[in-house]
């Protein structure tokens, strides 16, 4: 079995990624040549636990981007790319000004959503644990249970808790968290620490008025919906009228939206949210999980989204014009946004009746349904894309011979609440025009064409200004426990090395990193201190780290009679 040698479709710098617009994922450490068996074999469903942190991070991004706001941004980006391609190839002519207007909105939203999305993903990695008070768990947590838990499928909460407890006790996870605590606070390198600190402070504020948020997975779901199912933002992004101040409208809205959390009647909002969450449908997906939006606003957002997507929604069969092919490609890219790509590999395929046998080196990998009427030489090397449909509890495997789609497999995951994908519109897969690699290559070409008409360099200054403005806003949220007159100075001192600049003693920083991971499993002071003692961290050490935080005017730890939580 040969893992596909990466070209551009790979981790260029040793990191996993998720594309905001296509929702295409690269799990950098998932190597199907080693891990396919654990993914598809019945009742095994296991991946090595060292892959879990990266998996949780990217699965959280994928879940966030498969949302109304994610869809609005995707359709703006894809429409602009397609129109640039059509203009440059002479298929159709679109005004560059309209493309520029779309990119102004996309850029503004990306600059603001980036730290928030990274903050949510880091919170999922380091802090989230499910609680017994809520029946359902977030999709990233459910799939973490699916791929990494030692427990039987039905014991979801216990399985997740054991998995998280195990991975958060490792030296690798401590280094990972310490690396974030030492990250920059300028926003220029992705806004990881500003976003993470802001999410933690929002959690702390929310917990103050709604104790059900001790269940940090519930908080993750709630905040994800609040940010990424923001109907007003979708309307702003998709407004067909050009606005000279489009960027500032987007930025100001996102800031106002976040600030409104402090005024929201959280107990009432959580009641409604839980009613929707437990009221049927798949776990945490769907239009019912919208917070603080009127039915009229939801309708307006959905209508604008449908209108913006209209030219890509028709899937003409038979002969297609070049323009229709471009539309089809983007329509399919959009339709695949719900699939979370786990990986791709090459294998040898042969037909056995109605089945397609995949093997390598004489070893059988799996047998799938062969698409009838598609000819290809046999045996031959094929490309296999392995994907999860997170909201539908199934795995989808597509097999490609060059541009031809030659086989497929659907594997329903037991123990889930979905319908195995029956409600997913699989009819559109009949029109798939290429593997993930083809899709990514096409997307890259189209993006380059858009960049040639609306060069990124010309947008860079505006993006930098937005980034700086939003980073200032986030600093107020992130330093919520710091006295107001001191915030600017403290934030400035954190510019290049974050929390590490406030704790010059490296041993203390490592202890803070460990205390955060240990206290994520339970807020119980007694249990956390017992756990920390196994790592040679005493209560005196905890108090010493607390004192370092107080000296730096940034409280790191909340230690009360029965509670121990970290604020950073």
Partner 1 sequence: MKAAEIGIKVLGLTRADKMDIAALDEQHQITFEESAAQSGRFGEPVTITVILGLAALGVLAAWVVKTRSDSTTELTIETRDGKGAMRKVKYKKHVTKETSQAEVLKELTALVHGPQ
State which residue, 172 or 259, has the beta carbon closest to partner 1.
Answer: 172
456 is an interface residue for partner 1 by CB under 8 A: yes
Integer Cα distance of 280 and 112 in angstroms? 32
When binding is defined by CB under 8 A, the residue of 35, 36, 58, 137 that contacts partner 1 is 58
Site string for partner 1, 170-199 (x = CB under 8 A): -xx--xx-xxx-xx----xxx-x-------
Integer Cα distance of 444 and 165 in angstroms? 40
Burial class from Cβ neighbours inside 10 Å (0-12, 13-18, 19+) for residue 414 reads: middle
13 is an interface residue for partner 1 by CB under 8 A: yes
Q: What minimum distance in Å lies between the beta carbon of 31 and partner 1?
A: 12
State which residue, 251 or 559, has the beta carbon closest to partner 1.
Answer: 251
State which residue, 133 or 460, has the beta carbon closest to partner 1.
Answer: 460
State which residue, 76 or 206, has the beta carbon closest to partner 1.
Answer: 76
Q: What minimum distance in Å lies between the beta carbon of 510 and partner 1?
A: 8
28 is an interface residue for partner 1 by CB under 8 A: yes
Reference 568, options 442, 478, 483, 477; nearest CA is: 478
Q: What minimum distance in Å lies between the beta carbon of 109 and partner 1?
A: 11
Q: How far is CA 451 from CA 75, 162, 456, 457, in A?
A: 17, 47, 6, 9
State which residue, 378 or 505, has the beta carbon closest to partner 1.
Answer: 505
C-beta of residue 192 within 8 angstroms of C-beta of residue 115: yes
Q: Which of residues 109-128 bind partner 1 (CB under 8 A)?
A: 110, 114, 117-118, 121
State which residue, 506 or 543, has the beta carbon closest to partner 1.
Answer: 506
When binding is defined by CB under 8 A, the residue of 1, 9, 30, 54 that contacts partner 1 is 54
Integer Cα distance of 541 and 532 in angstroms? 10
Reference 289, options 218, 349, 360; nearest CA is: 218
Q: What minimum distance in Å lies between the beta carbon of 194 and partner 1?
A: 13
Integer Cα distance of 28 and 342 in angstroms? 10
C-beta of residue 279 within 8 angstroms of C-beta of residue 288: yes
Q: How far is CA 2 from CA 32, 48, 51, 355, 383, in A?
A: 8, 19, 20, 22, 10
> How many chain residues touch partner 1 (CB under 8 A)?
42
Distance between alpha carbon 76 and the CA centroid of its chain, in Å? 19
Other Cβ atoms less than 10 A from the Cβ of 225: the count is 23
Q: What minimum distance in Å lies between the beta carbon of 26 and partner 1?
A: 8
Q: What minimum distance in Å lies between the beta carbon of 117 and partner 1?
A: 5
User: Tokens 């990494």 — which residue?
Assistant: 148
Residues at the contact surface with partner 1, assessed by CB under 8 A: 13-21, 26, 28, 54, 57-58, 61, 65, 77, 110, 114, 117-118, 121, 171-172, 175-176, 178-180, 182-183, 188-190, 192, 447, 456, 497, 500, 506, 509, 513
């Amino acid at each position: 079995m040969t893992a596909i040698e990466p070209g551009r479709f790979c981790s260029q710098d040793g990191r996993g990624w998720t594309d905001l617009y296509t929702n295409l994922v690269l799990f950098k450490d998932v190597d199907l040549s080693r891990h396919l068996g654990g993914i598809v074999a019945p009742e095994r469903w296991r991946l090595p636990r060292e892959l879990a942190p990266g998996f949780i991070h990217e699965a959280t991004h994928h879940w966030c981007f498969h949302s109304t706001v994610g869809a609005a941004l995707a359709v703006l980006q894809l429409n602009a790319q397609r129109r640039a391609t059509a203009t440059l190839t002479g298929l159709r002519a679109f005004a560059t000004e309209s493309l520029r207007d779309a990119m102004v909105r996309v850029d503004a939203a990306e600059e603001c959503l980036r730290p928030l999305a990274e903050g949510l993903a880091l919170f999922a990695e380091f802090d989230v644990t499910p609680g017994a008070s809520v029946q359902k768990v977030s999709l990233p947590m459910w799939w973490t249970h699916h791929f990494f838990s030692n427990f039987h499928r039905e014991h979801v909460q216990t399985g997740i808790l054991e998995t998280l407890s195990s991975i958060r006790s490792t030296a690798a996870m401590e280094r990972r968290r310490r690396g974030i605590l030492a990250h920059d606070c300028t926003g220029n390198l992705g806004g990881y620490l500003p976003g993470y600190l802001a999410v933690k402070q929002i959690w702390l504020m929310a917990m103050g008025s709604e104790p059900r948020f001790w269940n940090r997975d519930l908080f993750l779901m709630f905040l994800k919906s609040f940010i990424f199912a923001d109907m007003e933002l979708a309307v702003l992004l998709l407004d067909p009228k050009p606005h000279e101040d489009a960027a500032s409208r987007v930025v100001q809205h996102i800031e106002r939206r976040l600030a409104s959390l402090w005024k929201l009647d959280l107990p009432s909002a959580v009641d409604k949210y839980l009613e929707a969450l437990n009221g049927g449908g798949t776990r945490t997906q769907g239009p019912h999980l919208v917070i603080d939006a009127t039915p009229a606003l939801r309708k307006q957002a959905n209508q604008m989204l449908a209108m913006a997507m209209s030219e890509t929604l028709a899937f003409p069969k038979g002969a297609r014009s070049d323009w229709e092919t471009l539309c089809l490609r983007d329509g399919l890219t959009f339709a695949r946004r719900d699939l979370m790509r786990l990986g791709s590999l090459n294998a040898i395929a042969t037909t056995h009746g109605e089945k397609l046998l995949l093997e390598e080196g004489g070893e059988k990998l799996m047998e799938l349904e062969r698409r009838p009427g598609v000819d290809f030489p046999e045996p031959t090397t094929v490309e296999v894309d392995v994907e999860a449909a997170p909201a539908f509890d199934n795995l989808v495997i597509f097999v490609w011979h060059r541009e031809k789609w030659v086989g497929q497999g659907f594997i329903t995951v037991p123990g889930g609440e979905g319908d195995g994908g029956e409600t997913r519109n699989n009819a559109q897969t009949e029109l798939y025009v290429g593997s993930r690699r083809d899709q990514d290559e096409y997307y890259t070409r189209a993006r380059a064409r858009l960049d040639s008409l609306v060069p990124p360099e010309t947008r860079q200054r505006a993006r930098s200004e937005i980034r700086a403005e939003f980073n200032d806003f986030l600093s107020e949220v992130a330093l919520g426990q710091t006295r107001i007159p001191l915030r600017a100075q403290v934030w400035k001192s954190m510019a290049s090395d974050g929390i590490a600049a406030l704790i010059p003693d490296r041993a203390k920083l490592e202890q803070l990193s460990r205390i955060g991971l240990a206290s994520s499993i339970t807020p119980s002071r007694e249990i956390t201190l017992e756990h920390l003692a196994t790592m040679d961290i005493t209560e005196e050490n905890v108090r010493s780290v607390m004192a370092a935080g107080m000296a730096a005017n940034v409280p790191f730890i909340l230690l009360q009679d029965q509670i121990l939580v970290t604020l950073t």
